[in-house]
Amino acid sequence: MTAPVIDGWFTVDDGTAHLLGTRCSDCRTVYFPPQTGFCRNPHCDGEDLAGTRLSRRGTVWSYTNACYPPPAPFVTAEPYTPVTLAAVELAEEGIVVLGQVKDLTVEDLRVGMELELTWGPLADGPPVWMWGRP
Ligand SMILES: [Zn+2]
């Protein structure tokens, strides 16, 4: 596989995509994108943030059609092809991760439906994480 679109935010192992976050060793709070330095939990003095793989399933929190190209740093194909975007709440971590949706349109999506992490080329370029049918 070629290098991911953003180094250090996700990886593909044997064809399976994983989001890469960090977890505070003290309060166990999980961050995505990965945080370094110190824990942002105001009730925690933790400074040890260890790399962790996030869970791969969640439920749709919101979704939309991107009929116009999103602003940079989002990479788009020329000419622009509208994409579907979904904000998915990870069941285990409770955090919401935005991503392009693969092989589904807004007509297929409902708030609360389960999606699974997958990946695909971003605008025919480098691989990026996407949300798809479990
Ligand atoms: Zn903490």
Q: What is the pLDDT of residue 39?
A: 96
What tens digit of pLDDT does each residue of 106-134 get? 999 999 999 999 999 887 778 899 999 99
| Distance from Cα 26 to the centre of ligand 1, integer Å | 5
d(CA 115, CA 56): 9
Q: How far is the CA of 43 from the centre of ligand 1 (A)?
A: 8
Short-list 86, 26, 29, 25, CA closest to 54? 29
Whether residue 48 has pLDDT greater than 80 = yes
Q: What is the pLDDT of residue 3?
A: 62
6-14, long-range: CB < 8 A, 24+ apart: 6/128, 8/34, 9/33, 9/34, 9/129, 10/119, 10/128, 10/129, 12/119, 12/127
- CA of residue 10 to ligand 1 center, whole Å: 22
What percent of the chain is predicted at pLDDT more than 70? 96
More confident of the two residues 123 and 28: 28
What is the structure's pLDDT at 122? 81
Ligand 1: centre distance to CA 37 (Å): 11
- Report CA(49)–ligand 1 centroid distance (Å): 8
**Could you count the other beta carbons within 10 Å of the beta carbon of residue 131?**
26
Instruction: For residue 45, report the distance from its CA to the centre of ligand 1, in Å.
Output: 6
* pLDDT 10s digits, 54-82: 999 999 999 999 888 877 777 777 788 88
